[in-house]
Structure 1
């Protein structure tokens, strides 16, 4: 049977399982099982031994331990006063700028992203603190919700990033270099967001009341030092070479617990609640990853990546043309799937194409994460939109409309990265050579 037809049948089968409401893990396993049985004639014994071997190998990867630890660290921060103290420190620093406290959405998300790694956690945590405050002070609701929808996605790009860990494991590239590559693009996107807020509020001053809290710099620093120490402990240990990403995650958990103890918040209840919050998320991610390994192997058995790569290669596309097609492909997938599912299901096909086109896999990792971030802002399955709908009471389509300028700014950042790839690649080269 023709490779294109087989690929289409497998894709339709996967879509059918997902449309039926089947969870991602089960859907992937079912699609792989049917594909190997129908197209390659695997019997039950060969199928079972292949599945068990792949899952044992995928689930025993040492790098996987970073995921539950980073998720747990974010849960601890979420349940302590560290995040509220961070905003108390940020407020006097930004309140006098055009846009005022709207900038705390952007800066706060960028800082929390450096201790979380999750877009949903970043959006929910920052929104919990800022949305009510902005509404009570008369800030424009569209800018407040839209900036948070956009800035919340920085949790996927600014290290430590769970999606980057997943990409590094699947693409077999250095997670540490990926972390370094994501830092400057993440700050670039944050700067674009703040510049837009500033320009918007200069042209329309009524969208953000002028004036605000004044406080000495020492008071701001007193509230910001705990989060600064945590970021330094996590990222500093990685970039200095003192710890691997998995070890830095353990260091982050330890430092977070010490900071909670210093503020009198460490308790058995905190440990219990944070673990209960972290375990389901971490288990979901790890099970999807093991299923993704089975999907990747199945596609390899069926030669789908090689055949699709040959078809696209025969189209004579330049690297820029390939990236444009992949960008549109990922934006469409973002309408239907979450970021982790997009990454694990498409990488076996897209990565060979990217490597054949001579695109740096570290740079492509940053590109892929930004594409996944865009999906967080697009209905009907934009998780950031649903989080903000639940927190603000604003209908999801209005949230999507408010986030559109920030969606376009993130698209602009992709164009800038494509034209100036060293924005992502300079820091890894400078740190690691």
Structure 2
């Protein structure tokens, strides 16, 4: 909105002067100096009077009317920009006391202008009705020369630059606020991550086989280590397929500690462990069966197969011969003679023949996992002080190594 200084039509004198030429807003904007409003120059232009005696608007030449129209249009554009900045400062709550006072001053001037021109009651805060606009006084732009216009345009350009810089500053402030928010969020996530890592140390662990991390309560513990259910099941299945016990932490793991296994599999694995841990195991003499005979199936000198019901002699490992004295068969005797010639040893755990091809005398039976001395065929712990060759199995003392290096 514009802020012209209004006078009564035909009053012949100017109204009260407006405030100083520039009213600085809180955001750097200013109000342009207003052109003077004067009475129509009667001495230079013709006047026409109506029959009622009232004075009409002066008659202008085409050049004068065109020049005035250009000046008014340029002034309205500049003033509209300034009014918009003032309105924004008031709407955004950034206006200071000077802005508010200036706004009240402009509103009073506009009300005086409407009152002085006799505007009807239909005039609003946005202006008078179009039908009454012809009654408004005219502006004299003769004092608003080209230099003044250029100064105002330069000032407007400077204000636009200032507003652009302020917008950029606000954007930077917003970016800084966003960066601080992201930093705070990162700090919170870091604290949460550290707390989570501390919680994991005391409540989580990795599977000893696959390395997957899970809560300790989810693991199976047949020994000191934790196993996934799938990994533990796979370990027992591989042990049964290879006819060897599933060992960890230097002991045989119990199949009862593994969940999810089928009942038939559990029975087979338990039979395997019983077979591997039974000294001098006995098998069915029926070549088409040849199954392990558990100790519970052997009564006296006869073992009865639970599958084919064949009875086997405990001594000769052939079919039972009631009433006939049992002698070892020739094949068994021939094998023992060959073992003596080759130097084979018998495992003290399962009585199977063992042949050492290379390495030290400390042997571990692949069948029953019994550790024994290959020289005396005794269990390794029993041989600790009696076997004369055991001293060569222990590494020499450190001083011996130093002596040998010096030599």
Please classify the TM superposition score into its range, dividing by the shorter chain length.
under 0.3
Larger-gyration structure (1/2): 2
Higher strand share: 2
Return the TM-score normalized by structure 2.
Answer: 0.17
